[in-house]
Structure 1
Amino acid sequence: MKSTLRIKKINGIEYWYEDIPYYDTEKKQIRHRSKYLGKNVNGKPVRVRDAVNSNEGMLLPSSKPLKAYNYGELIPLQKIIEELSIGEFLGDLLNEKDRNMALAIAMNRITRPVAMYNVRSWYENSALFLNDPELPLKSQNISKLLDKIGDSDIPSTFIGKMLRNLGTNRTLMYDLTSLSSHSQLINLLEYGYSRDDPELPQINLSMVLDKDKGIPVMYDIYPGSIVDVTTLKNTIKKIEAYEVNDYTLVMDRGFFSTGNIEDLLHEKIPFIMPATMMLKSVKELMSLAQKDIESPEYLHKFNKKPIFVKPVVLEEANFKVNGYCFYDPKREVEEKSTFYSRLYDVKEHIEKAKIPAWRKAEDVFKERARDMASFYSWEIVDNHFTIIIKKNAVSQRINRMGKFILFYNGERDWMDCLTVYRERDVVEKGFKTMKKDIQSLPLNTNKDSTTKGFIFICFIGLMIRMRLLKMMKETGIVEEYTVESLLLELEKVRKIEMQNGEVIVTEITRKQKDILAKMELCA
């Protein structure tokens, strides 16, 4: 029985296989086994590891590999750039060299974020180098590009093109964060509380996400404080200018105040905002609601779990706003466990502290107790604290656990209100990704324009990365891989530049083939 050669096409690439027939003595029939021979190169099978040798075992100068380039991790990113028309829109706003630089830096923020002066080294090891080896990615050139972008209307024009292309016109998620900076020279910076580093000044940043597509479509930068919603009006005007009319401000507790709510209602701005217990009227509303919130008439299910929902109305002198009081039994159990554990740990931490003779005991107590200070009283015995837990304070805190109020403006039932608010997590994860995975922090730029340009590049990187995560969820790959582990697996696929000028792709493993097939990608 003679073997035969055949070509198999997998993901658009041709491979040679030898079909070997053999006789199966158990089943008493002729069967076939397939043996991989190599990739089809000019009508012949070529294995990458054998490409350097001839049939006689002699090294052939014409087939000697010169260099290997990282390639596989770029495959999904380049598809997304094409799918979202990112390269096309940047090409409308920048010359070809600047566009390629911007895309290269954005992809670097996703695959292996490095300082700007190291981007060139990363690029030279990337398959992108094969297409444009002369790309001027020195740190000085990058600074000039960021300055050019930040000192122009390129970011806003790009956002407008993206919104029109995506057809974004439905509910948007909206949230705010701060980006800390080492620089002292940027006018955009403010000093105060920073989520990332209390010692550093920060830039305030907002972000808008397309709920359906799960990607950021707009951002805005704010100088100074943003706890007053009047600061957000310019962003709202921009959203409306892009012909996006069905939007919702999903805000955090920092915005909750009678003045902000009154302003939002007066401007007829749709919003969802959680309440704080700072206002006496809200405390009274919560106390009234929790008396009968466990009544069967308020019982519902959310994500297959029981939850109690009671409509409430907050009435103040100048406005009336609707809301829902929620009671989540499962959340109550989790919050109690976390709280009691922390209550004990902080008490133990304070009691271990020896009070230095030169320090005030009250200062030492506050330093160690921090936000838990209201739950303790203390005495001093032998230069150590004796801590007593305040029962009433703890009881008041425990009674509110698992319960929260969401106020809203617009036509929303409780399910829609809670769902939209919970989906705010997507925005928060986007910020976390920008800060940690894309490594936008801490900012190390010295001009407003270069800072704005850098944030724009990080925004493009975030768009691509969040779209990749969305694709992974849609194909089920997210059950096996994180974004990082998927990119690491694909990174093993490389392009090899041969001495004769030919470029070949290394063999693709079964894992890599599975990823590429599920995501409909071609190597």
Structure 2
Amino acid sequence: MKLSYYIRNNIEYAKIPGKSVRSNGSVHKEGEVYLGRVIDKAHNVFCSRERGTFTYDPETRTYGSASETYSSELKDDGRRKAKVLLDFGDAFLVDALLTKMHYSEVLDAISYRNRDTLYAMIEYYTLNDKANDHALTWYEGSYASILYPNANLTSQRISDFLASIGKMENLSAFFDAHIAWVKKYATDDPAVLIDSTGLPNSIHFPLTAISNHNGKISREVRMTTILQRDSGYPLMFRINPGNIVDCSTLTRSVNEAIERGLKVDMAIIDAGYCTKPNIDELYGAHIEWLTRLPETHKVWKQMIQKESDDLRSKGHLVKYLDRYVYIKRVPIKVGTASQYEAYAFLGYDVERAADETRKVTAAAQKKKMSAEQLSERLDKVGYFVIVTSLCYTEEDILPAYYTRQLVEQYFDIDKGISNLTPLRIHHEEALRGHLLLSMIASTINVYVQKQTKKLATDREELFMSLRNQKCIVYKSKILTSEAQKKANEFYNGFDITCPISIDRSGDKLKPQYQLPEIDVDEA
């Protein structure tokens, strides 16, 4: 079969020709199929809104996936003017950080032929919290378009890109390379933090389901994340339908972590994982554990009833940072048959109790609580219970538990900075690709946060200051503008030197840090 080609507005299109059929005295076409814009005529590559960039074999009449190197964009015909002034500092810094962090070693594990698209999307996820619909607009006004000139950030191609990097073989190779990177350049600490979070997604596909998490009902995907305790870097993630109960995912998450070479010997877990079967599994695997119990837990209620009378005494008062807390350690039995020894720490936070008392009394007036209801609520304010397999001292239990804040900070980075939510995704592989990019961006942002703590600033201020540094694009050279004082502090803090110009006349960009030598005779 031969395809039919035609030109409209100087653009070539293709279609599968149909047959001429006479009906009711008139002739019309039947079976004609529009293929779309011609991308590569010799190799039968086309692009349409419905299919994106694809191949079609007229002999077998089958559709296929186009190579990742093909772009769905129109070739430059000279009518569209390239931008001369671009945002420079932020894109330049992220590119420099990838080299400084040795993180390209990890990115090499991701199989995707158009490396410019991969690196450009990593920059976009790191620097922006906007939807992917805005990626092309950002790219056209950023130095990233010079760094990665062959990137294809059209909406349909981004969807194809996410699905490609989200294949399980890609994800598995990335996790292995990333974990090796953390061990090599951060620490080989075997202690981990495990928690889950919901990713709201109104689009229906198999992983989206109704979730009831801590009484909050939503349609979402659940993501379980494992972080390294000492470094705060993410190690891996797993995704499950929203209706999968958190407690059922712990053993499989730990098992996969061990399979990937993580010698897990300590797990700080979310309260949702604290079930008797899970505790049995952790003891059986010789993994120490620590968690904070919810008020609804049986042990929490027992501790308040039996151990609170003498809690607020001088012998139990400890100081943690700028807070004073009463803490009492009590040996307990845990497990399905109460066969394991553990320790419960009953605590009373003085400052928190005062804050909660004000909130409860204010709510009591609005909701017109009875005296009995108010008294019951006030009896619980300020108390908390931490349970662990390790015999911490009363002074050491809070520093040990509050390393868990790293998980909360990571989710804040992931959701607020690194473009994790909201989801607008239709397919599981595209979801994995999206989460993979978010994890890469979060790793970069965790690295940045560690460094900016030394600079007494925050990440947003860093990238906003750097974005104000522009560059002027000439045919063979790029001239950078002066960096503001704050931006220079950031460059110095990361030990990165900003070039005064960049030579783009050859195949590779060449940064220049001094004025070029001038031949006096030629001048």
Class of the TM-score when normalised by the shorter of the 2 chains: 0.7 to 0.9
Deviation at 1:224, TM superposition (A): 4.8
Per-residue Cα deviation, 1:344-369 (whole angstroms, up to 9, x for no partner): 3x42xxxxxxxxxxxxxxxxxxxxxx
CA distance in 2, matches of 1:161, 1:110: 20
Deviation at 1:153, TM superposition (A): 1.8
CA distance in 2, matches of 1:411, 1:232: 23
CA distance in 1, matches of 2:297, 2:247: 18
Q: Which residue matches 1:141?
A: 157
Distance 1:154 1:413, change over 3 A: farther
Deviation at 1:245, TM superposition (A): 2.0
CA distance in 1, matches of 2:357, 2:277: 33
Q: Which residue matches 1:327?
A: 348
- 1:214–1:470 contact (8 Å) kept in structure 2: no
Give the letter for the 2:492 counterpart.
A
Distance 1:80 1:198, change over 3 A: farther
Distance 1:80 1:116, change over 3 A: same
Q: Which residue matches 1:505?
A: 480
- Over the matched positions of the two proteins, sequence identity in percent amounts to 20
Give the letter for the 1:251 counterpart.
I
Give the letter for the 1:121 counterpart.
T
Q: Which residue matches 2:496?
A: 521
Distance 1:135 1:424, change over 3 A: same
Deviation at 1:283, TM superposition (A): 1.7
Q: Which residue matches 2:456?
A: 477
Per-residue Cα deviation, 1:356-388 (whole angstroms, up to 9, x for no partner): xxxxxxxxxxxxxxxxxxxxxxxxxxxxxxx3x
Give the letter for the 1:513 counterpart.
N
Give the letter for the 1:239 counterpart.
A
SS at match of 2:212: coil
Per-residue Cα deviation, 1:441-471 (whole angstroms, up to 9, x for no partner): 2211111111111111111111111211111
- 1:77–1:468 contact (8 Å) kept in structure 2: no
Q: What does 1:10-409 correspond to in 2, within 5 Å?
A: 67-95=84-112, 97=114, 99-167=115-183, 168-170=187-189, 171-185=191-205, 187-193=206-212, 198-199=217-218, 201-227=219-245, 229-280=247-298, 282-315=300-333, 318-319=337-338, 320=340, 321-344=342-365, 346-347=366-367, 387=368, 389-409=369-389
Q: Within the alignment, does 1:487 sit opposite 2:435 as a pair?
A: no
- 2:318–2:324 contact (8 Å) kept in structure 1: yes
Deviation at 1:497, TM superposition (A): 0.7
Cα RMSD for the two superposed structures: 2.6
- 2:126–2:445 contact (8 Å) kept in structure 1: yes
Distance 1:229 1:197, change over 3 A: closer
Deviation at 1:180, TM superposition (A): 0.9
Give the letter for the 1:332 counterpart.
A
Unaligned runs of 5+ in 2: 1-81, 499-523
CA distance in 1, matches of 2:273, 2:374: 26
Q: Which residue matches 2:31?
A: none
Give the letter for the 2:267 counterpart.
L
Deviation at 1:85, TM superposition (A): 2.8
CA distance in 1, matches of 2:311, 2:392: 20
TM-score with structure 2 length normalisation?
0.72
Deviation at 1:122, TM superposition (A): 1.3
Structure holding more helix per residue: 1
CA distance in 2, matches of 1:272, 1:184: 36
Give the letter for the 2:273 counterpart.
F
SS at match of 1:203: strand
CA distance in 2, matches of 1:93, 1:305: 46
SS at match of 2:236: strand
CA distance in 2, matches of 1:225, 1:290: 37
Give the letter for the 2:228 counterpart.
D
Give the letter for the 2:379 counterpart.
N
- 2:226–2:237 contact (8 Å) kept in structure 1: yes
Unaligned runs of 5+ in 1: 1-64, 348-386
